[in-house]
Amino acid sequence: MSRIHVAAASAALALLLAGCSRPSGLPTELKSQDQRKPAPNFSLKDADGNAVNLTDYRGKVVLVNFWATWCGPCEAEIPWFIEFEKKYKDQGFAVLGVSMDDDGWKSVRPYIASHKINYRIMIGSELVSEQFGQIDSLPTSFVLDRAGRIASNHVGLVDKVDYQNEIVKLLEDPKSTSVGDAGNAGTGLRAGLTGTGVRAGQRP
Amino acid sequence: MAKPGTAVESTLPLDLRPGYHVNSNSPSDEYLIPLRLSWDPGPLEATGFAFPQPRLEKYSFSEKPLSVFTGDFQVVTHFKVPAKAAPGPTTLTGKLRYQACNDRMCLPPKTLDVSLQVEIVK
């Protein structure tokens, strides 16, 4: 049998991993009050078809989690978020899951059922991704204070205790309830890696 | 070069960045996106693919080992050259679909264009 080589076509192959906003997986601290910027608003439909506007959550501490069904590290976080939703909901806390699955509810709806997800899930869009600084890696999460400002962001899997500490601090923080400057402005954050993690080409 | 009425094979070499993996062609979870190579209809007919033996790797985010490819590896395509294939140069085009992760995060699924230059000779 003859052997012939495949050459992966040109332009797409130069994709390599670029830098990211900060190394993933490292513990973070909450941003100080004056460093916090308003989270961009979004309006997306949840699994029941109801509109979810982020601004409706003003006054609550919110964890906005960008995820996908094909993302193993995202799956690891889901039980934590289920627990947080149960534990802190009555104190003014909510998790909002924004799925980045290309096929939308086809994959996400059964996943919600099989994983018994108790918080609201929406299907994300390129626009929402861009508004949050281009979500290129999953999971990426933003923890918002009661004023709707981004108090921390995490790219990649972080420890459960980091999330928990941040949520508790924000729930207890009386300073984070001011809503004076919260609005629809962009975050200016660049979250995540860009690139594909793979190179394909003809072996020398 | 390929002769009409014969079988040929091609190799697609792939090189993952250190620390990253892609799901194998038969992932261990229904939600994971498999590595897939496909060829558009052309003068050569793809009759099968040969993937390397996947590695079963345990990652911090998974309770069970995952079926993955890492590092350098090759995907082989077996082609049949039809007896009536017209002589001359030709290009086959196809797609490589994959989804990469490291131990803490995943990158979105991607589809790369691949091409194969073939000279069909009598």
Residue type, A72: G
Closest residue to B10, CB basis, from A6, A139, A195: A6
Peptide bond into A139 cis (omega under 30): yes
Compare all CA atoms of chain B with the CA of A106 and give the residue at the minimum distance. B31
Task: Tell me the torsion sign for CA atoms A100, A103, A109, A115.
Answer: negative
CA A154 vs. chain centroid, Å, equals 8
Q: Kindly report, residue by residue over A38-72, the tens digit of the pLDDT.
A: 999 999 999 999 999 999 999 999 999 999 999 99
Determine contact, residues A72/B30, Cβ cutoff 8 Å.
Answer: no
DSSP-derived secondary structure letter, B25: S
pTM here is: 0.83
A12 CB neighbours in chain B (<8 A) are 110, 112-113
Contact call for A6 and B107, based on CB within 8 A: no
Q: Kindly report, residue by residue over A177-193, the tens digit of the pLDDT.
A: 655 444 333 332 332 23
Contact call for A102 and B106, based on CB within 8 A: no
pLDDT for the residue B2: 82
Reported as half-sphere exposure (CB side, CA atoms, 13 A), residue A7 has a value of 7
pLDDT for the residue A187: 32
Which contiguous run of DSSP H or E holds residue A166? helix A160-172
Residues A150, A39: Cα–Cα separation, whole Å: 6
pLDDT for the residue A177: 63
Mean of pLDDT values over B60-68: 93
Strands A61-67, A93-99: pairing kind? parallel
- At A29, the pLDDT band (50, 70, 90 cuts) reads confident
Q: Kindly report, residue by residue over A95-145, the tens digit of the pLDDT.
A: 999 999 999 999 999 999 999 999 999 999 999 999 999 999 999 999 999
A185 touches chain B (CB under 8 A): no
Q: How many residues does chain B have?
A: 122
pLDDT for the residue A175: 66
Which range (A184-188, B2-6, B30-34, B105-109) has the least confidence? A184-188
Mean of pLDDT values over B33-45: 95
Q: Kindly report, residue by residue over B82-97, the tens digit of the pLDDT.
A: 998 899 999 999 999 9
Closest residue to B12, CB basis, from A139, A197, A200: A200
Mean of pLDDT values over A16-31: 50
pLDDT for the residue A116: 97
Residue A117 token pair: 């997800």
Tell the residue number behind the tokens 């962001």, with chain if given: A153
